[in-house]
Amino acid sequence: MPKAIYGAFAGDINGSFKKCRPIPYSFGLFSGKMGISDDSILTIATMEALMEAGPFLPGSEYREKLHASMIGKLVGFYRDNPNPPGGGYGELFAEWCRGENHRPYGSKGNGAAMRVSPVAYWARSLKECRLLSSYVSEVTHDSEEGLMGAEAVAVAVYLALHGHSKAEIGEAMEGYYPGVYGNALKIYSSKECSSLASSSIPEALAAFFLSKGYEDCLRLAVTRGGDCDTEAAIASSIAEAYYGTDSFPMALAKVPSYLGEKYMKSVEAFEKAVNENYDVIVIGAGSTGTLIARELSFYELKVLVIEKSLDVGDATSAANSAIAHSGYDPVPGTKKAFHNVRGNKMMAEICKKLDVPYGMIGTLTVARSEEERKTLDALLKRAEENGVEARIVDAEWLRKNEPNLTEKAVAALYCPTGGIVNPFLLTAHAMENAMDNGVGLALGEEVLAIEKEAAGLLVKTDRGAYLAKAVINAAGTAADKVARMVNPDLKWSIHPRKGEYYVFDHFDGSFVRHVLFPLPSSKGKGILVTPTTSLNYLAGPSSEFEDDPEDASTDAPTLDEVRKAGMEMVPSLPWREQIRVYAGVRATPSTHDFIIGSDESEPRFVNAAGIESPGLVSAPSIALEVVEDIGKILPLRRKNEAKDSIRPYLKPLTMSIEKRSELIHERPAYGKIVCSCEKVSLGEIEDVMSRSLPCLTVKAVKKRTRAGFGKCQGGFCQPQVVLLLAKHLKTGIDGIAYGPTDSEILLSKARKGEGK
């Protein structure tokens, strides 16, 4: 969510001195006789009215309450400042304020549109945005033209704020003003100077569509010489939401001095109400937390996800076996069993919608002696109880279908619905989908305390505080720590368990064709050998309890055990192809089952804890149960406009030579290779950086594009990625972190002469 909401004010101030007179594009910003006009004052009045009326509620009672608040604030702000320095009020509006009968006066002007941008920040859905626009506008503007103009602006700001592309915003605006997107240059170039909504709003929209940045948009809106204070206020409010508050530092620095202490107090209160008050807060942005956020995003809820890392899916979700388990292993009747099986059935469709690589290649749980073979019957029975398709295959079947499997294999439990999935992209794309639907994300914030209040739960972090009506605990290995903030007498706990792995290069696409498990033990499913969706292979994990939930180090003795166990399964594992090792820490619960549901001491606090293996495949199913629990706390109304898929990513390596050549001809960045090992192009990295989900670290780029995942492990491409991130984030290269906070790759510039 935005740090500040200054767009309308920045546009109004800079457009306040040259109305109806074209001026050079290079005019001085925030200078001369500029000042706030009625546009800024009435935008602040709208902010105060929304806060006074409170969160949107369906029905006539709320509408009437907001009407009364709007009338009171509009009249009050006019009487307090009838002659603002940047320009006065329209004659009809001033007469309306001075009179006693505050009924709408049929205006067709742009006055409602100029003040409407706050509703886009207040609304929890596009439907709410449209209704709120009508409610705050119709107290003065009851003409179709005036109401439509205000709604168009509110919708444009809402879509920009929630990550929609210019093309998507343009498509929406075509429904209000046909031709405004396709003919933006022609509309912008008109010589009109009119305060009518039908003329000035298309011109403001055209300035935004033609712009290359927030400041550029403001300059375009002012220099064309129309009703420039209002057109710039409208265009800049959209641009700020689209390009980001921080992209125009001068506005952040200058606007407060023009508004003054009194008005800034109201603006800051509104920003606080927008940025710190939520229906639901999700703590933790691993696969469970992000898929919960995605499911919540389909409802008219204001949702925030808080993650202490600088990227989503940076802990357990980034260091696991990447397997979609079939569900034969969990104890029947447990939450693990239920969510594993249901999640497995959901996975293919979800991966398709989220553009995530997934392969239902099947799993083999291998018996390597006649004594072990007896155990397969028990596993088959458990699979049948859990409703999982399974059968026992013999040695002949194994020789034919897994020629590199150990000759000791006598039989295996074959589960064809087991598979492999890309956990990095499942987590990231679920969060992207959620953010496209309006969910907020706070990265690099650690939750320190949760306090119970009458209005909800106050979540305090190391960077701020947020109030929510309900809180979901999906904090992984820290879930018990977070739960104790609400319930000190917690009856369950999390015991971190570390697993270490080997990664092999993609040397042979059919070396191992299924996920290969040994028989399970008290430590888990054992050390497996499996292909991945990226055509690499994994061997691991070990399974040892760990005191430090953040200790992802590896050690030689443990890796040696993994190596031996891997070779017992596949003796010909080519260690010359091994390119790296890693470790992941999973959240093993004391209950030996997933912990899902409201805390016994605080119904507004919902746990999704102890989500160890098979947590990755279970996450979509867990999300459904958690949202059902939220429905017992808050009313759930589905959004009509919510999307359940993301914009697909272009993948040159999957295209035919002809299609790839066409793409590179049209977009040359896709022909410039940044990562030679994984053949990742500049276009793919730029695409990742352009999405709604922030991309802040080298590791984030690596997980989403595979740049740095190859044989050289980033030795050649990492400097280019650092430069691209610095350019994208508008920071110095010494500020770019590899992954965690304080993991900057470059500390400072070398002084002249050093190193010689």
Rg (CA), the chain: 29
Q: What is the pLDDT of residues 299-348, one digit of tens each?
A: 999 999 999 999 999 999 999 999 999 999 999 999 999 999 999 999 99
Mean pLDDT, residues 213-224 taken together:
95
Last residue of a domain, one of 183, 217, 247: 247
pLDDT of amino acid 1: 47
Highest mean pLDDT among 455-469, 571-585, 739-753: 571-585
Mean pLDDT, residues 601-626 taken together:
97
pLDDT of residue 756 exceeding 50, the answer is: no
What is the rounded average pLDDT for all residues in the chain? 94
Last residue of a domain, one of 247, 282, 306: 247
Nearest in space to 329 (alpha carbons), one of 514, 522, 476, 494: 522
Q: Which residues pair with 470 in a beta bridge?
A: 280
Query: Distances from the Cα of 554 to the Cαs of 282, 517, 562, 583, in angstroms?
Result: 31, 22, 11, 6
pLDDT of amino acid 225: 83
pLDDT classification of 3: cutoffs 50, 70, 90: low
325 labelled catalytic: yes
Query: Distances from the Cα of 314 to the Cαs of 181, 425, 471, 619, 728, in angstroms?
Result: 39, 12, 21, 16, 21
Q: Token pair of 261, please? A: 């202490």
Percent of the chain beyond pLDDT 90? 83
The single-letter code of the amino acid at 526 is G
Write the CATH number for 157: 1.10.4080.10
pLDDT of amino acid 174: 96
Write down the catalytic residue from 164, 325, 339, 514: 325
Q: Which residues pair with 501 in a beta bridge?
A: 582
Query: Distances from the Cα of 664 to the Cαs of 268, 683, 685, in angstroms?
Result: 47, 9, 14
Query: Distances from the Cα of 721 to the Cαs of 444, 727, 739, in angstroms?
Result: 21, 10, 13
Where are the strands (E) in 239-357, listed by range? 277-283, 303-307, 323-324
The three-state secondary structure class of 466 is strand
The residue with tokens 């505080």 is: 465
Nearest in space to 306 (alpha carbons), one of 122, 475, 449, 434: 475
pLDDT classification of 753: cutoffs 50, 70, 90: low
Query: Distances from the Cα of 288 to the Cαs of 429, 611, 614, 636, in angstroms?
Result: 13, 8, 11, 20
DSSP string for 573-600: --GGGEEEEEEEEEEEETTSS-EEEEET
Q: Which of 226-230, 288-292, 313-317 has the lowest mean pLDDT?
A: 226-230
The single-letter code of the amino acid at 121 is Y
The single-letter code of the amino acid at 178 is P
Q: Global pTM?
A: 0.84
pLDDT of amino acid 163: 81
Q: What is the pLDDT of residues 25-78, one digit of tens each?
A: 999 999 878 999 999 999 999 999 999 998 888 889 999 999 999 999 999 999
Mean pLDDT, residues 425-441 taken together:
96
pLDDT of amino acid 162: 84
Domain-located, residue 393: no
Q: What is the pLDDT of residues 245-271, one digit of tens each?
A: 989 999 999 999 999 999 999 999 999
The residue with tokens 């979509």 is: 620
Domain-located, residue 390: no
Query: Distances from the Cα of 114 to the Cαs of 151, 385, 443, in angstroms?
Result: 11, 63, 33
Relative to beta strand 363-367, strand 515-517 is parallel
Q: Token pair of 452, please? A: 């119970």
The single-letter code of the amino acid at 631 is G
Domain-located, residue 219: yes
* CA dihedral sign, ordered 562, 567, 570, 573: positive
The residue with tokens 């996975």 is: 347
Distance CA 129, CA 151 (A): 8
pLDDT of amino acid 755: 45
Report how many domains make up the chain: 2
- Cβ neighbours of residue 521 under 8 Å, at least 6 residues apart? none
Distance CA 351, CA 359 (A): 10
Nearest in space to 687 (alpha carbons), one of 315, 311, 432: 432
Query: Distances from the Cα of 70 to the Cαs of 44, 66, 81, 94, 156, in angstroms?
Result: 11, 6, 16, 15, 22
Domain-located, residue 599: no
pLDDT of amino acid 124: 84
Distance CA 592, CA 330 (A): 10
Q: What is the pLDDT of residues 670-681, one digit of tens each?
A: 999 999 999 999
Kindly give the interhelix angle for 7-14 and 228-243, rounded to the nearest 10 degrees.
150
Residue count of the chain: 756
Show the domain range for 730.
652-735
Contact 704, 430 (CB under 8 A): no
Q: What is the pLDDT of residues 525-553, one digit of tens each?
A: 789 999 999 999 999 999 999 999 989 99
Distance CA 512, CA 570 (A): 9
Domain-located, residue 624: no
Domain-located, residue 492: no
- Cβ neighbours of residue 202 under 8 Å, at least 6 residues apart? 177, 180, 187
Highest mean pLDDT among 186-195, 424-433, 547-556: 424-433
Query: Distances from the Cα of 613 to the Cαs of 423, 424, 502, 526, 589, in angstroms?
Result: 13, 16, 18, 12, 11
pLDDT of amino acid 2: 56
